[in-house]
């Protein structure tokens, strides 16, 4: 795919990322760095404001499309000061925004995931956002259960010689990355060539409660991996896997939450980026991810994602533990 031939929907999704990063960075500046005595979680403000911004753009450009986002506007109806704060953040990009519009935009994300729908995680990795570490704004388009495109905006991620990068991918067309501050500089993404398991760089959740840390450690020991797994929040992990800076990203069911099934917005955008860069993603049973089951991946348990060369072999090591 040549740059001049980027499909409209993909270009639209890429274009949104700059505004989303403006919001998340502004909220971080105002509510985390300046340590304002906000009675609100900064995450809540950023989540709502990004979802409102993306939803209004989808309503304007693709009025017939469904949108599925993490947030609902209900809470804002009962909380004037929170609504004020969220609206202020949206106004940084859309100066004429009004309270009732902001709520309606957010609620657009409550549609049922059927047919063709956009999937948004406004701030993926909320804990990383609060720690001023890694987070992502993740957007995908799904049609008939197929992830058509995925975009990962990672405003804090160091990659190559840049800090703040985004990845985008389109079904069967490839994956690219670009820095936020030089948007003409697009580069294809390719997974690493490493095929020796003992050399694998492993990515895992920063939050212990989102995974099974002791099983990951035991996997690493059995695989003869000597480097400690890298802990990182959000789908920024998929960026690094697709970009050749890691070989494996795994998400094991937490022992206290074995019934947990992934939300589509936590997987769909990164899934398309990793596949187009040459990687492989399955669940921990080796099954392909089934995005046709609504807001959650009810047919899949855990996620196992590699640079693709010896995926089944590596998965077997995990399964045999």
- Site mask, ligand AMP, residues 234-273, x = CB under 6 A? x-------------------x--x--x--x--x-------
Q: How far is the CB of 317 from Mg ion (least distance, A)?
A: 28
Q: How far is the CB of 155 from ligand AMP (least distance, A)?
A: 15
- Site mask, ligand AMP, residues 48-87, x = CB under 6 A? ----------------------------------------
* 293 catalytically annotated: no
Q: What is the DSSP letter of 290?
A: -
* 47 catalytically annotated: yes
Report DSSP letters for 44-108, one per residue. Answer: HHHHHHHHHHHHHHHHHH-TTSEEEES--SHHHHT-HHHHHHHHHHHHTTSTT--HHHHHHHHHH
Q: Which does 79 bind (CB under 5 to 8 A by kind): Mg ion, ligand AMP, none?
A: none
- Of 320, 261, 321, residue with least CA distance to 295: 261
Q: Which does 131 bind (CB under 5 to 8 A by kind): ligand AMP, Mg ion, none?
A: none
Looking at residues 186 to 215 of the shown chain, list those that interact with ligand AMP (rule: CB under 6 A).
205, 207, 209-210
End-to-end CA distance of the chain: 42
Q: How far is the CB of 121 from Mg ion (least distance, A)?
A: 4
Compute the distance between CA of residue 304 and CA of residue 287 in angstroms, rounded to an integer. 10
Q: Is 301 among the residues that bind ligand AMP (CB under 6 A)?
A: no
């100066």: which residue's tokens?
Answer: 95
Q: What are the residues facing 159 on neighbouring strands? A: 162
Q: Which does 47 bind (CB under 5 to 8 A by kind): Mg ion, ligand AMP, none?
A: none
Looking at residues 81 to 140 of the shown chain, list those that interact with ligand AMP (rule: CB under 6 A).
124-125
Q: Which does 257 bind (CB under 5 to 8 A by kind): ligand AMP, Mg ion, none?
A: ligand AMP
Compute the distance between CA of residue 45 and CA of residue 27 in angstroms, rounded to an integer. 7
- 253 vs 310, beta carbon nearer Mg ion: 253
Q: What is the DSSP letter of 283?
A: -
Helix (H, G, I), strand (E, B) or coil at 296: strand
Sequence-distant (6+) residues with CB within 8 A of 49 are 23, 27, 86, 89, 90, 122
**Residue of 22, 44, 47, 266 with catalytic role:** 47
Binding-site ranges for ligand AMP (CB under 6 A) = 124-125, 205, 207, 209-210, 233-234, 254, 257, 260, 263, 266
């Amino acid at each position: 795919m040549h740059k001049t031939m980027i499909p409209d929907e993909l270009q639209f999704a890429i274009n949104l990322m700059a505004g989303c990063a403006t919001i998340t960075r502004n909220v971080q500046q105002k509510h985390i760095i300046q340590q304002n005595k906000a009675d609100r979680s900064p995450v809540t403000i950023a989540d709502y404001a990004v979802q409102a911004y993306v939803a209004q753009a989808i309503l304007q450009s693709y009025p017939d499309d469904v949108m599925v986002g993490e947030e609902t506007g209900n809470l804002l109806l009962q909380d004037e000061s929170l609504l004020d704060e969220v609206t202020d953040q949206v106004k940084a990009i859309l100066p004429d925004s009004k309270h009732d519009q902001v709520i309606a935009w957010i609620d657009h994300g409550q549609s049922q995931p059927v047919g063709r729908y956009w999937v948004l995680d406004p701030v993926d990795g909320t804990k990383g956002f609060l720690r001023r570490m890694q987070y992502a704004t993740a957007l995908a388009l799904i049609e008939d259960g197929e992830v058509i495109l995925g975009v990962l905006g990672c405003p804090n991620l160091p990659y190559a010689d840049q800090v703040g990068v985004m990845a985008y991918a389109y079904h069967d067309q490839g994956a690219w990355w670009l820095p936020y501050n030089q948007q003409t500089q697009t580069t294809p993404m390719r997974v690493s060539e490493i095929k020796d398991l003992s050399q694998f760089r492993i990515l895992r959740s920063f939050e212990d409660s989102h995974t099974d840390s002791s099983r990951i450690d035991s996997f690493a020991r059995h695989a003869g991996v000597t480097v400690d797994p890298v802990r990182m929040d959000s789908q920024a992990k998929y960026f690094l896997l697709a970009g050749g800076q890691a070989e494996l990203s795994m998400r094991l069911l937490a022992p206290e939450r074995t019934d947990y099934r992934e939300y589509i917005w936590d997987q769909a955008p990164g899934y398309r980026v990793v596949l187009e860069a040459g990687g492989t993603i399955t669940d921990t049973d080796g099954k392909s991810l089934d995005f046709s089951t609504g807001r959650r991946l009810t047919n899949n348990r855990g996620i196992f994602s590699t640079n693709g060369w010896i995926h089944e072999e590596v998965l077997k090591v995990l399964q045999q533990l």
